[in-house]
Amino acid sequence: MEGAAALLDGAGVAADAGPEDAPLPFADAAFDLVSSRHPVRAPWAEIARVLRPGGTYFAQHVGPRSVFELVEHFLGPQPDEVRDARHPDRERAEAEAAGLEIAQLRAETLRVEFHDIAAVVHFLRKVVWMVPGFTVEAYRPRLRALHERIEAEGPFVAHSTRHLFVARKPGG
């Protein structure tokens, strides 16, 4: 994030990659636009605080059960509270409770295909929160089973979920 912050600062854009639960380091009503991509949990009260009246929050959030076919292949069935986390209806309610008006909320489900086990390993090494503690050694039997499945049946298909939020702070 340091590199991105330096580039954005040169363009007059403020960026923050602080601790997840920390208040945003900006003054009240400081921005006309707040943007985010894939927040683990949107800090709705803080977003509302730093937006000027009439300001907009524009973001892409990860949706519920995103790529869970792969997650559950390695970790087994997950409890409903994990599977349904990040539900757009819940996030809408949280944004509205913080005083924001939802101008647009659009959910999409996208097909993801893994054509070989190397792609699966690469993905899980990059997206480390999907299967915490993933290593080839620790998951060798599950990897072998998935490799054999891909060889026999073709690509392993999962589904990525995303939702687009456009929210506004009343006024202005």
Q: Within 10 Å of residue 14's Cβ, how many Cβ atoms? A: 14
Residue 29's closest CA among 122, 99, 104? 99
The answer to whether 124 and 142 are in contact (CB under 8 A) is no
Task: Find the helix packing angle between 140-153 and 68-75, rounded to 10°.
Answer: 130
pLDDT tens digits, residue range 85-120? 889 999 999 999 999 999 999 999 999 999 999 999
Which pTM value belongs to this model? 0.80
Tokens, residue 94? 């949280």
Say if residues 146 and 117 touch (Cβ distance below 8 Å): yes
Say which residues have a Cβ less than 8 Å from residue 149's Cβ, sequence separation at least 6.
156
- Would you say 143 and 117 are in contact if contact means Cβ atoms under 8 Å apart? yes
Residues 127-151 have pLDDT tens digits of 999 999 999 999 999 999 999 999 9
CB 26 within 8 A of CB 50: yes
